[in-house]
Chain A
Amino acid sequence: MSRELPTFVHLDADAFFVAVERALDPSLRGKKVAVGGRQRGIISSASYEARACGVYTPMPTAQALRVCPDLILVSGGMGRYGEFSRRLFALCETVTPLVERRSIDEGFMDVGPCGWRSAEEIAAKIRALQQRIREELDLPVSFGLATAKLVAAIASKQRKPEGFTVVAAGAEESFLAPLPIGVLPGVGKKTEVLLKANGIVKVADLLAHGDAELAALLGRDWRDWQRMARGEDDSEISLEREDAKSYSQQETFAEDAADFAIILRVAKGMLDALLPKVRADGKRARTLTVKVRYPGMGEDVAGRSLAAATDLEGPFYALLESLLRQAWRRRAAVRLVAVRLSGIEGEESQLELFGENREREERQRRLAEAVDALNARSGGRVRHGHQLGRGKN
């Protein structure tokens, strides 16, 4: 059932991690900036200036520095990205309750229920949202508007950064026709090569080929491909947010690390990054797992559960050192360390009876929440004591 107005909106933040870093540190604006670990790390986001230089994601940092020697590297912090993402989607929700988060920096909105009567009116309102996101969060976001999610998602990618593309009702097929086949979801590199080898280069080519030929090429789903090529997609906004089953982080060392104190400090830093996320989601975790990987790619794991789930660092700090010693059984230099919190529990937390620690825990929670709030404003400048002294990187 196609809609009469382009009420599906796809939003896609432009170079999101870099944009957040720039929002927090305006001196990075206009420069070749990338977020990623130094040396053995990977670039996870690159500014358009850096992209012009040949930096892409994911690209090994060392390679990025070769193609773009004056690249400014920022080590990044998931905590602040999560917070900006939350605020970005919160602004979307001021427009419509039907907001679907696809990832930290990408999502759909359905403005159908807003009652706007023309494509122009919808476009004006979404332009206003784009402007508001720019003003309040200092983030560039590209928008695509169409009658179907599929088309909106492709539209938002057409004029980045800060693009704004509206595909009018009825114009879906002609909008898609000249685009390269690779824009369709599900067309990976291999499929793209295969299709191009068979003369399907643009989306329009899918409709120009005979049924038998397409069936032979694409298998029994070939009709779905043609529907996509016509811009037909009847999927709705999915509000069921997949709840996180676990929270994890890993770090590849610039040089293989054999100093336990350093590995431990890195692992603690990960806990410090993960627990604010757990708190921000209103969850608690019960199980801590630590993994170390050696240069030969062999790895060892150790994990343990607390008697009760928590959203505080303290109980996990207590487990971390012994787990790390347990995991690091080869005592050989380590290339990567990873920390994972699982056994995630929901909104309500059962209070304990025997709480000599109960009041202390309350105080710790208040402190943790205060630190989280400060970090949300300052972009992660408040650190735990054990992360001070020797700077990271």
Chain B
Amino acid sequence: MKFKINRDHFVTGLSQVINVVGTRASMPILSNVLIEAEGDTVSLTTTNLDLGIRARIKAEVSTNGTITLPVKKLATIVRALPSNDTTVELSGQNRVKITSGGSVFQIMGLAADQFPPLPTFADQHNFSLAQKDLSGLLKKVAYAQSTDENRYILNGVFFNFGEGKLSLVATDGRRLATAEKTMTIGEDEGGSLILPAKTVAELQRLLGDAGEVAITFNDRQVSFVTQITKNDTGLVDNIRLVSKVVEGNYPNYRQVIPKETVHRVDIERELLLECVGRAAIMTSDKSSSVKLTVGNNEIEISASSTEFGEAHEKVAVKYDGPEVKIAFNPQYLSDPLRALSDDTVHFEFKDDMSPGVFKNKEDFLCVVMPQRLS
């Protein structure tokens, strides 16, 4: 194996795959990146057995070959190389020589045949959509995933292809966010999956703002193949991410979305976000909620705690219903407000024990359960 590669391209390629490493002591090869040189590309693959990523970069390959090298160490070396012109070659049994300018590194690796291959699987569902659309959907819901390991079904984002749209849902049992995008889905083509949180984070990193992403899945696995459109990065073809799905039935989330609107106000999104952030300064571990009091054409955002004191702020809104005061975890208010880009959001509510709902004009809603005040 021998190839010449641009150092910056090499850095870019490694940075796509470096987050996915295994930590099992019994399989040290999982901390390595599989390097496969062939034709005019070098493939870089990492896996932790639950999740694997493959990126391709352009290179001048003079001798085809494969090897695995410790990915963290390799990335540190490559970032530090003095010259853009870098040569990588097999220099002995499982040993690689990297030359750049006057600098020479010899790194020990492991044979490629021990590296677990990225799974290929029988496809049941195939969909394709714009990367920026999927990226936008994920941003609108990902924060609502549960991190409580006792609720592993909720440790991910639910993808549902059906009824002429892709719906993404995430919930931690206290708030629920859903976003959707219309797309053509054939009669029998619908399906759903739960994408694990770790994969969601990697996917969000990989998705760009141009090109398509192809999604393929069955009951156990899913793959995302993102087209490379920009070509100054050295990345070529596509990046392929293969992941296990969270197995199990996602809860019936539709039942917790209020069927009817009792009261509604329209609020300037950024202003509300700022007000919530200011009020939250006065919350404490013991009094952790921010109160929204809606009445007589204004909404008051307030918080108080015996330890610190209190904060109040009023914002004019159009509302002539009865006064309603609801307490929320401020994070649950600011997360959806931050994830949106609309100027105005709708806030729907009923009373202090019923969920509040944020909506934008078309594709998004977030249901937030209040906090009971004793």
Contact A353 B176 (CB under 8 A): yes
Question: Which of A282, A350, A352 gathers the greatest number of chain B CB atoms within 10 Å?
Answer: A350
Choose among B288, B289, B367, B373 the residue that contacts A353 (Cβ–Cβ < 8 A). B367
Contact B173 A348 (CB under 8 A): no
A287 to chain B, nearest CB (A): 12
Contact A353 B285 (CB under 8 A): no
Contact B353 A351 (CB under 8 A): yes
B288 to chain A, nearest CB (A): 6
Please name all residues of chain B whose beta carbon is closer than 8 Å to the beta carbon of A346 when the two chains form the complex: 285-288
A351 to B172, CA, bound (A): 12
Question: Count of A residues near B, CB < 8 Å?
Answer: 13
Contact A351 B174 (CB under 8 A): yes
Contact B148 A350 (CB under 8 A): no
The answer to whether A307 has its CB under 8 Å from any CB of chain B is yes
A280 to chain B, nearest CB (A): 11
Interface string of A296-318 (1 = CB under 8 A from B): 00000000000110000000000
Please name all residues of chain B whose beta carbon is closer than 8 Å to the beta carbon of A350 when the two chains form the complex: 174, 329, 369, 371-372
Contact A348 B176 (CB under 8 A): no
B257 to chain A, nearest CB (A): 10
Contact B286 A353 (CB under 8 A): no
A305 to chain B, nearest CB (A): 8
A356 to chain B, nearest CB (A): 9
The answer to whether A135 has its CB under 8 Å from any CB of chain B is no
Please name all residues of chain A whose beta carbon is closer than 8 Å to the beta carbon of B256 when the two chains form the complex: 353-354
Contact A349 B176 (CB under 8 A): no
The answer to whether A242 has its CB under 8 Å from any CB of chain B is no
The answer to whether B156 has its CB under 8 Å from any CB of chain A is no
Contact B150 A348 (CB under 8 A): no
Contact B369 A352 (CB under 8 A): yes
A295 to B171, CA, bound (A): 49
Question: Which of A282, A307, A346, A351 gathers the greatest number of chain B CB atoms within 10 Å?
Answer: A351
Interface residues of B in 322-374 (CB under 8 A from A): 327, 329, 353, 355, 367, 369-374
Please name all residues of chain B whose beta carbon is closer than 8 Å to the beta carbon of A351 when the two chains form the complex: 174, 353, 369-372
Nearest residue (CB) in B for A311 is B374
Nearest residue (CB) in B for A308 is B173
Please name all residues of chain A whose beta carbon is closer than 8 Å to the beta carbon of B286 when the two chains form the complex: 243, 346-347
Please name all residues of chain A whose beta carbon is closer than 8 Å to the beta carbon of B289 when the two chains form the complex: 348
Interface residues of A in 316-368 (CB under 8 A from B): 346-354
Choose among A282, A307, A348 the residue that contacts B371 (Cβ–Cβ < 8 A). A348
Contact B327 A307 (CB under 8 A): no
The answer to whether B7 has its CB under 8 Å from any CB of chain A is no
Please name all residues of chain A whose beta carbon is closer than 8 Å to the beta carbon of B174 when the two chains form the complex: 350-353
With A307-B150, A307-B151, A354-B173 already in contact, the answer to whether A349 and B371 are too (CB < 8 A) is yes
Contact A348 B369 (CB under 8 A): no
The answer to whether B175 has its CB under 8 Å from any CB of chain A is yes
Contact B175 A348 (CB under 8 A): no
Nearest residue (CB) in A for B175 is A353
The answer to whether B28 has its CB under 8 Å from any CB of chain A is no
| Interface range for B | 20 to 34
Contact A353 B173 (CB under 8 A): yes
Please name all residues of chain B whose beta carbon is closer than 8 Å to the beta carbon of A282 when the two chains form the complex: 374
A32 to B51, CA, bound (A): 73
Nearest residue (CB) in A for B172 is A353
A347 to B176, CA, bound (A): 24
B232 to chain A, nearest CB (A): 46
Nearest residue (CB) in A for B329 is A350
With A353-B171, A353-B176, A353-B367 already in contact, the answer to whether A348 and B287 are too (CB < 8 A) is yes
Choose among B148, B151, B171, B327 the residue that contacts A348 (Cβ–Cβ < 8 A). B327
Nearest residue (CB) in B for A304 is B150
Nearest residue (CB) in B for A365 is B372
Please name all residues of chain B whose beta carbon is closer than 8 Å to the beta carbon of A308 when the two chains form the complex: 173
A349 to B286, CA, bound (A): 10
A346 to B285, CA, bound (A): 8
Nearest residue (CB) in A for B176 is A353
Contact A348 B367 (CB under 8 A): no
The answer to whether B119 has its CB under 8 Å from any CB of chain A is no
The answer to whether B251 has its CB under 8 Å from any CB of chain A is yes
Contact A349 B148 (CB under 8 A): no
Please name all residues of chain A whose beta carbon is closer than 8 Å to the beta carbon of B374 when the two chains form the complex: 282, 347-349
A348 to B287, CA, bound (A): 7
Nearest residue (CB) in A for B286 is A346
A307 to B147, CA, bound (A): 11
Interface residues of A in 208-254 (CB under 8 A from B): 243
Contact B372 A348 (CB under 8 A): yes
B27 to chain A, nearest CB (A): 32
A350 to B374, CA, bound (A): 11
Contact B372 A349 (CB under 8 A): yes
A308 to B372, CA, bound (A): 14
Choose among A243, A307, A347, A354 the residue that contacts B373 (Cβ–Cβ < 8 A). A347
B347 to chain A, nearest CB (A): 17
Please name all residues of chain B whose beta carbon is closer than 8 Å to the beta carbon of A347 when the two chains form the complex: 286-287, 373-374
Nearest residue (CB) in B for A352 is B173
Please name all residues of chain B whose beta carbon is closer than 8 Å to the beta carbon of A349 when the two chains form the complex: 371-372, 374
Interface string of B228-270 (1 = CB under 8 A from A): 0000000000000000000000010000100000000000000
Interface string of B131-175 (1 = CB under 8 A from A): 000000000000000001011000000000000000000010111
Nearest residue (CB) in A for B154 is A354
Please name all residues of chain A whose beta carbon is closer than 8 Å to the beta carbon of B251 when the two chains form the complex: 354
Interface string of B279-294 (1 = CB under 8 A from A): 0000001111100000
B348 to chain A, nearest CB (A): 15
A282 to B374, CA, bound (A): 7
Please name all residues of chain A whose beta carbon is closer than 8 Å to the beta carbon of B355 when the two chains form the complex: 353
A349 to B352, CA, bound (A): 12
Please name all residues of chain B whose beta carbon is closer than 8 Å to the beta carbon of A353 when the two chains form the complex: 171, 173-176, 256, 355, 367, 369
A118 to B120, CA, bound (A): 91
A354 to B173, CA, bound (A): 6
24 contacts between A and B (CB under 8 A): A243-B286, A307-B150, A308-B173, A346-B285, A346-B287, A347-B287, A347-B373, A347-B374, A348-B288, A348-B327, A348-B373, A349-B371, A349-B374, A350-B329, A350-B369, A350-B371, A350-B372, A351-B369, A351-B370, A351-B371, A351-B372, A352-B369, A353-B173, A353-B369
Q: Which A positions have Cβ atoms within 8 angstroms of B?
A: 243, 282, 307-308, 346-354
Q: Which B positions have Cβ atoms within 8 angstroms of A?
A: 148, 150-151, 171, 173-176, 251, 256, 285-289, 327, 329, 353, 355, 367, 369-374
8 interchain residue pairs of minimum CB distance: A346-B286, A351-B369, A348-B371, A282-B374, A353-B256, A349-B372, A348-B289, A347-B374
- Given A353-B171, A353-B256, output 18 extra A-B contacts at Cβ < 8 Å: A282-B374, A307-B148, A307-B151, A346-B285, A346-B288, A347-B373, A348-B289, A348-B327, A350-B329, A350-B371, A351-B353, A351-B370, A352-B173, A353-B173, A353-B174, A353-B175, A353-B355, A353-B369
